[in-house]
Structure 1
Amino acid sequence: METSMQSGATTLPPRITKTLIDRLTAMVTAGTAGDKREPYEMIEVYTGAVVGELPQSSPEDVVAAAAQARSAQKEWASWSVERRLEVFARWHELILAEIETIADLIQIGSGKTRRMAIEESCDPPMVISHYLKTAARVLKPVQRGGYMPVISTSIQQHRPKGVVAVIAPWNFPFAIAMSDSTPALIAGNGVVLKPDNKTALCTLFGVELLYQAGLPRGLMQVVCGGGPDVGPTLIENSDYVMFTGSTATGRTIGEQAGRNLIGCSLELGGKNPMLVLEDANLDDVIPGAIFAVFGNTGQACMHIERIYVHDRVYDEFVRRFVAAAEELGSKAGASYGTDPEFGSLVSPDQLARVSEHVEDARAKGATVLTGGKARPDIGPAFYEPTVLTDVTAEMTHATMETFGPVVTIYKFSAEKDAIAQANATTYGLNASVWSRNLARAEKIAGQLEAGNVNVNDGFVVTYSSKATPSGGLKQSGVGTRHGDAGLLKYTDSVNIGVQKRQVMAARAAMPYAKQLQTTLLTLRMMRKLRLR
């Protein structure tokens, strides 16, 4: 039996062998045109040790991958929706059966805690389950009335676009890559997936399981490489783009998609606010806010970076929140076990970005209530849970997405001022409001400028509602995932009109004036009778 790989001071889980890593990396489309590029060294975040080499795709490889997906897509699109869904029912079970291995691979590349890795692994099964229940209905052709009752009809078809590019991020590499690919494939498309180099292993394993479930060979391709290296060619050879990542990169992708006259869905950054009203139950708010801020070490597009607290409960909230943050920090650890409750940032580069934001705020007068330091004694990319106050507009952290375990707490007195401050951002991805009075909280939620607004929760209640579309407003994105819209976006809507008898064409025997009079009378009657 092959033994588990050794990685610095940490032993990788027994499930993760060199054979497994080599098998997964062999799935990347690379070197097809003889252009074999320098491989990317995959790092175990906990120790910084190399665990394997990931092939890098050239533009020619991307072209080849898209061509293979397009070829396989023609047969896949001819399958009934029900037949396609059988593959996903099997994939659902395979993911659950292999959830521990998936969590191992997520942790290797991201450094998140075991519990967070398991939670991430559960997201694709939730998405699959939703579309197993709804996809046949959503994709079914719909017959509607035509312009004239009885003698004409209109049929709306939903046809797959062809090849969909899914560009996945490193923060939830398995969940987002698999959950975004699922509706694209169910709709009848081929997929070319580009994971982030740092976290590609778990996505490759997900693709392997999908093929084990019966997906036609060639339908889902994986290319790897830097965004500027493979991104433009990927968009050039796709019919739709699904991207999750930064607003800056999303703008570039949107521009190229627009030039190619193809659609795109972009889930981008956030500077997400939380409002804590004076009647909020702090026993519920504190643990909810801790998770909303520090879950996944703050590396979530929907995580909270700004908290506005009513002045009547401000002091108590700050005291309890800081204490809870310090307790969480004491449970940090580099481990594949379930004991650590606070994990690593994804890389030393990300740690440097987070540290730069905090140091900029500190230098300009912000108060660091707790945290504000790296923890190299735990691992090369660990950073303490950090709570700031006295943050002002000229500080980077005030307006830019930090994407780490850092939050600022502000005090407010008037509800309208808190709403205005929460909305004073170019982002609009997520928001949260806490109150015992649900009617009041829902009224405030209706005034917050975000695509997802959670009442008495940070972000889980909206993101886990797979039946409802989820997306961003303002510079937080274009389009949505989940719900009927998250499936239909991967299709072209085709209108097939059927006319059983010609009645509206000009007739030589009828003078034009009389024809116009008849037409206007017909239009008025149809409106009054609510026929059209």
Structure 2
Amino acid sequence: MAPETIADPETDPTATYAVDPGTVRRLARRVVSAPRAEQHRSSTPLTGAPLATLPLSTREDVAVAVDAARAAQRAWSRTPMELRERIFLRYHDLVLQRQVQLLDLVQLESGKTRAQAFEEVADVAIVARHYARSAAAYLRPRRRAGLFPVLTQSTEYHHPRGVVGIVSPWNYPLSLAITDAIPALMAGNAVVLRPDLQSSLTALMAVELLTEAGLPESVLQVVLGDGPTVGQAVVDLTDYVCYTGSTATGRSVAASVAPRLVGYSLELGGKNAMYVAEDADLDKAVEGAVRACFSSAGQLCISIERLLVHDRVADEFTRRFVEAVRAMRLSADLTFGPDMGSLVGKPQLDRVTAHVDDARAKGARVLTGGRPRPDLGPYFYEPTVLEGVTAAMDLRDDETFGPVVSIYRVHTDDEAIRFANDTDYGLNASVWTRDVARGRRIATAIQAGTVNVNEAYAAAWGSVAAPMGGMKASGVGRRHGSEGILKYTESQNVTAQYVVPIAPSFGMDQQTYARVMTGALRALKSLGRR
């Protein structure tokens, strides 16, 4: 897809955002569907205008996709690791080279700004490079200590699970469609991907680039359809399930796979907190808070919805933060520059509006924002800052998933930690202090899978050699790092025994054998044997 296939209102003021029909037809051919399949018509949240028409899959189509993936996986699992590495390093380059087209699609389907869409491009490139360069080390056979030194030699192996099912959401249409698939494929699995209908074009473009990089087409199958039908079929038919989305649906996924005893990983919701200590650099903390709360219009599971500010700096921080939020520029432009884009659709706008209206009606103070902006687009909502939020209000504990943050005053680090942990969720947190050692101490006391010190969310998210995931109701399992690829494998222990068996030998009776073993075990302990 060439850059000019996306209409540019700056050069053509009469144009509406649209994707070239030829591009849509080409991408549509990657969907596993019947010849006369039902069609889905998507629209862009930026203007509400139609965007693309794509075929829908059925449960039977998912079964076809899984069968094709399973057949292709057998050959793919035997592909030398060096070849897999080259494919994903080429993919890294292609994603960066074609970023203009990818940025256009991410913006058109999600409504986010171009700078926030670029986070997804960078993320995919980073993850592709990391696993291309690290998968062999993560997966290599490892010698483990055997029962007896020298005589017992144990080796741990990792085998692909088979067909991995990935059900990805709309809010990060590029990152969440493909960055979980990368380690699954590097581990020798095939993948069946069901992206959200709102973000299908971006996912299909990402898959097309993988094919161009050299990935065999049948190894990565794409199906399209709603969650209860097509998403559920992916959950029901694959050998491992990776789901990103709401906690409620995540619980249903876990219940669905339990009878089959297959593995799963879930990254779910969050009610994330950011703590600004009294010694924080307020200029940096304010800028970080704006990014933490309003990137992707708050439609980011690791975004901040609760600001905990030390009482000594609360007045000054709040004044500066509110000024910064009021100065944010909202726009539907497909260009760099705007600070925030649109919500993804009416259900999200309704949820944000209901949360803010409920809080206002029950006594919360709106310091800035608090209203939709239909003059900018059908689903725009102003970045909103609230104060005086109480437990009686829905947004105190429920995830809003929009551009809304509440400010709370605290008096000590311990109070901030208690407040940060006062939630069913545990996905991400942020701590701001000039004393990094203090920041680390606070961070380790917060029950969240990732905690950033003096950064909003990108430091932990972008450090892909380290694990990322949720505690409590925010998920099960981790993406990134060794856990992010080993979860897609079955570990196997192969142990060879030499010279003597683990049993009575050399004419010993059972009682003598027990005495000899007792002495051997005591000797191993005294020698420091693990």
Alpha-carbon distance, 1:512 to partner: 2.2
For residue 468 of structure 1, give the secondary structure of its aligned residue in structure 2: coil
For residue 144 of structure 1, give the secondary structure of its aligned residue in structure 2: strand
Alpha-carbon distance, 1:359 to partner: 0.6
Is this contact kept in 2: 1:471–1:478, CA < 8 A? yes
For residue 179 of structure 2, give the secondary structure of its aligned residue in structure 1: helix
Is this contact kept in 2: 1:7–1:51, CA < 8 A? no
Q: Does 1:354 align with 2:352?
A: yes
* More deviation, 229-238/366-375: 229-238
- TM-score, normalising length: structure 1: 0.96
* More deviation, 83-92/410-419: 410-419
Which residue does 2:413 correspond to in 1?
Answer: 415
Which residue does 2:429 correspond to in 1?
Answer: 431
Letter in 1 for 2:330: A
* More deviation, 397-406/408-417: 408-417
Q: Deviation digits for residues 383-429 of structure 1, max 9, x if unmatched? A: 00000011110111000000000000011123322211111100000
Which residue does 1:62 correspond to in 2?
Answer: 62
1:503 to 487, 497, 501: 501
Which residue does 1:487 correspond to in 2?
Answer: 485
For residue 305 of structure 2, give the secondary structure of its aligned residue in structure 1: strand
Which residue does 1:464 correspond to in 2?
Answer: 462
Q: In 1, distance between residues paired with 2:502 and 2:241? A: 42
Q: Does 1:200 align with 2:203?
A: no
Which residue does 2:273 correspond to in 1?
Answer: 273
Which residue does 1:403 correspond to in 2?
Answer: 401
Q: In 1, distance between residues paired with 2:180 and 2:51? A: 27
Identity of aligned residues (%): 46
Change over 3 Å in CA distance of 1:60–1:378 after alignment to 2? same
Letter in 2 for 1:18: P
Unpaired runs of 5+ in structure 1?
none
Letter in 2 for 1:460: A
Which residue does 2:342 correspond to in 1?
Answer: 344
Which residue does 1:136 correspond to in 2?
Answer: 136
Change over 3 Å in CA distance of 1:100–1:258 after alignment to 2? same
Is this contact kept in 2: 1:5–1:18, CA < 8 A? no
Which residue does 1:259 correspond to in 2?
Answer: 259
Please give the residue correspondences for 1:125-204 in structure 2 after superposition, counting only pairs within 5 Å. Answer: 125-204=125-204
Is this contact kept in 2: 1:7–1:44, CA < 8 A? no
Q: How many residues align?
A: 526
Which residue does 2:31 correspond to in 1?
Answer: 28
Alpha-carbon distance, 1:143 to partner: 2.2
Q: Deviation digits for residues 139-178 of structure 1, max 9, x if unmatched? A: 1111223212222211111100000011111111101111
Is this contact kept in 2: 1:4–1:11, CA < 8 A? no
For residue 192 of structure 1, give the secondary structure of its aligned residue in structure 2: strand
Is this contact kept in 2: 1:142–1:155, CA < 8 A? yes
Which residue does 1:107 correspond to in 2?
Answer: 107
Letter in 2 for 1:123: D
Which residue does 1:122 correspond to in 2?
Answer: 122
For residue 423 of structure 2, give the secondary structure of its aligned residue in structure 1: coil
Which residue does 2:76 correspond to in 1?
Answer: 76
Q: In 2, distance between residues paired with 1:144 and 1:210? A: 36
Is this contact kept in 1: 2:17–2:51, CA < 8 A? no
Alpha-carbon distance, 1:439 to partner: 1.8
* More deviation, 308-317/136-145: 136-145
For residue 122 of structure 1, give the secondary structure of its aligned residue in structure 2: helix
For residue 309 of structure 1, give the secondary structure of its aligned residue in structure 2: strand
Q: In 1, distance between residues paired with 2:341 and 2:162? A: 39
Which residue does 1:308 correspond to in 2?
Answer: 308
Q: Does 1:242 align with 2:242?
A: yes
- TM-score, normalising length: structure 2: 0.96
Q: Deviation digits for residues 327-384 of structure 1, max 9, x if unmatched? A: 01xx111111223221011112211111111111111111111101100000001000
Is this contact kept in 1: 2:159–2:490, CA < 8 A? yes
Alpha-carbon distance, 1:229 to partner: 0.9
Letter in 1 for 2:189: N
2:361 to 356, 360, 363: 363
Q: Deviation digits for residues 76-114 of structure 1, max 9, x if unmatched? A: 001122221111111111111101000111111111111
Q: In 1, distance between residues paired with 2:232 and 2:112? A: 30
Letter in 2 for 1:235: V
* More deviation, 140-149/129-138: 140-149
Alpha-carbon distance, 1:435 to partner: 0.9
